[in-house]
Amino acid sequence: MSVLKCFDGLVSVISDFIAREMEAVMNLNAPRGTRDILPEEAEQRRALERTFSDVCERYGFGEIRVPTFEHTELFVRGVGDASDIVRKEMYTFTDKGDRSLTLRPEGTAGVARAYVEQGMSSWPAPVKLWYNMNMFRYEKMQKGRYREFWQLGCEVFGSDSPQADAQVIGLLDTFFAELGLEEVDLEINSIGCPACRTDYHKALREYYAPNVKDMCEDCHERYERNPLRMLDCKETYCHSLAQKAPSQLDYLCDECRVHFDNVKSYLDMMEISYRLNARLVRGLDYYTKTVFEFVSSHVGTQGTICGGGRYDGLVREIGGIDVPGVGFALGVERLLLELDAQNVPAGKVQRPDLFIASFPSTAANALDLAQSLIRSGLKVETDVMGRSLKAQFKAADRMEAYYVLVLGDTEVSISRGKLRRLSDGSEQDVPLTAVGTLLHNDRKKRSVAETEEVRFEL
């Protein structure tokens, strides 16, 4: 019996030890809501970023980069203390100087702060800025939604013209077209200005009053603080009530109505199709007048791919002069899901132009030649594992290199080698000094062939 007790005790000790070790290992994993971005996806992201930056520059936007964390008060005042982001989702901490700081949950407030602090109001208007930044929100995990995520965005400061609204929408439309996305729809609405929104808030409270006691806890608070946000609630009962709620479009003042009519007119002239969505609001309190979203029916993106609108009071709210603004933010993770759902390639890892296979006696020569070719603009791989020649050829196959050059003692002594094309096994004897020129010419031919193939498909 005592032996059994000892055995049981030993099992218990071992179990506790394993449990502690497993817990220690788990604590070293990436935090919940974050993820590692591996080379293949990183290349897809770079392809998106290259296209986005190119489109932004053609529209006259310059890149801005702002700090990853800001003073918490910026988001409380700018985003709004009634918003879900401020109330529930911000990563806020106190630093060693007893200051309250917050990891940025969105980009517009930080860019607006930079506009004020850096004196951009003295720049020629409009000031047009774009960004590519990671954001942080403590929210429920869903497909395409993480607690650390990336957004591409644009902001325009200094213009209250509906032309500015239409231009940022046009930029997005161009970006999607150049990516090859087709199955996305633009929804637009106007949520008015503070003046005409007062009457609308009154109408909403009157509409919701008989049912507010049965609505979710969040909507109880929204009812008092910002009833407009009740239209955006995703709870089943609240959402069903929102479908028959009064429309902001029926309460617009003359200025807001004319502004919205002009936005629609410009979109029509630009041949950008859209549909009115009178229930469309944005989740941030700074929006005024025009709001819009690009949406998709694909399940993976949960509807909205990106959204934006006008925020004419934001700069004043955070301590700047009264400067109007308009912009948008686009979630990279959701966009990648959308590209995948529509079978649109988002970019792939570039194949090596050349793999240089070597022997122990020529490894240094291979490294030197690879360095020279890489500096000329080529992508070149060489063995740094001391593998056999056969294993190096297998590695070149896995990398899908276009060519392989075997660099032995003879090749080094005569400065010539045989360049083998892996697609068909053909070889040509070339001076080592001519390898770079040959590979550059071959790359140009491939580029022309790929362009012609695209033209043929079109």
Same-domain check for residues 327 and 371: no
Of 11-25, 138-152, 162-176, 388-402, the range with the lowest mean pLDDT is 11-25
Sign of CA dihedral 267, 270, 275, 279: negative
Q: Tell whether 283 is covered by a domain.
A: yes
Q: What percentage of the chain has pLDDT greater than the value 90?
A: 63
Same-domain check for residues 375 and 332: no
Q: Cα 324 vs. chain centroid, distance in angstroms?
A: 25
Q: What value does the mean pLDDT take over residues 256-274?
A: 96
Q: Which helix H or strand E contains 325, and what residues bound it?
A: strand 325-331
Given pLDDT bands bounded at 50, 70 and 90, which one contains residue 455? very low
- Exposed/middle/buried for residue 153 (C-beta within 10 Å: 0-12, 13-18, 19+): buried
Same-domain check for residues 155 and 289: yes
Same-domain check for residues 323 and 398: no
User: What would you report as the CA-atom Rg of the chain, rounded to the nearest whole angstrom?
Assistant: 29
Given pLDDT bands bounded at 50, 70 and 90, which one contains residue 264? very high
Same-domain check for residues 361 and 410: yes
Q: Tell me: cis bond preceding 39? Omega within 30 of 0 counts.
A: no
Residue 310: per-residue pLDDT = 95
Domain CATH for 47: 3.30.930.10
The mean pLDDT of the chain is: 88
Same-domain check for residues 77 and 169: yes
Of residues 445 and 87, the one with the higher pLDDT is 445
Same-domain check for residues 320 and 376: no
Residues 6+ apart with CB under 8 A from 115: 121, 127, 129, 157, 315, 320, 323
User: Could you read off the pLDDT of 198-223 as tens digits, one per residue?
Assistant: 888 888 888 888 888 888 888 887 88
Same-domain check for residues 318 and 396: no
Q: Cα 130 vs. chain centroid, distance in angstroms?
A: 12
- CA-CA-CA-CA torsion for 290, 123, 103, 46, nearest 10 degrees? 80
Complete edge-to-edge strand list for the sheet that includes strand 92-94: 69-71, 100-103, 92-94
Given pLDDT bands bounded at 50, 70 and 90, which one contains residue 440? very high
Residue 231: per-residue pLDDT = 83
Last residue of a domain, one of 341, 368, 400: 341
User: Could you read off the pLDDT of 26-59 as tens digits, one per residue?
Assistant: 578 888 899 999 988 999 999 999 999 999 999 9
Q: What is the DSSP letter of 35?
A: -
Say how far apart CA 108 and CA 78 lie, in whole Å: 9
Same-domain check for residues 151 and 279: yes
Q: Tell whether 348 is covered by a domain.
A: no
Same-domain check for residues 269 and 359: no
Say how far apart CA 338 and CA 277 lie, in whole Å: 22
Last residue of a domain, one of 313, 341, 369: 341
Q: Tell whether 210 is covered by a domain.
A: no
Backbone angles phi and psi of 302, in degrees to 5: 50, 40
Same-domain check for residues 371 and 332: no
pTM score, whole prediction:
0.82
Say how far apart CA 147 and CA 35 lie, in whole Å: 9
376: domain range?
354-457
Q: Does the pLDDT value for residue 385 go beyond 70?
A: yes
Q: Does the pLDDT value for residue 266 go beyond 90?
A: yes
**Domain count across the chain:** 2
Of residues 452 and 240, the one with the higher pLDDT is 240
User: Could you read off the pLDDT of 114-134 as tens digits, one per residue?
Assistant: 999 999 999 999 999 999 999
Find out whether 159 and 304 touch, Cβ atoms under 8 Å: no
Same-domain check for residues 360 and 334: no
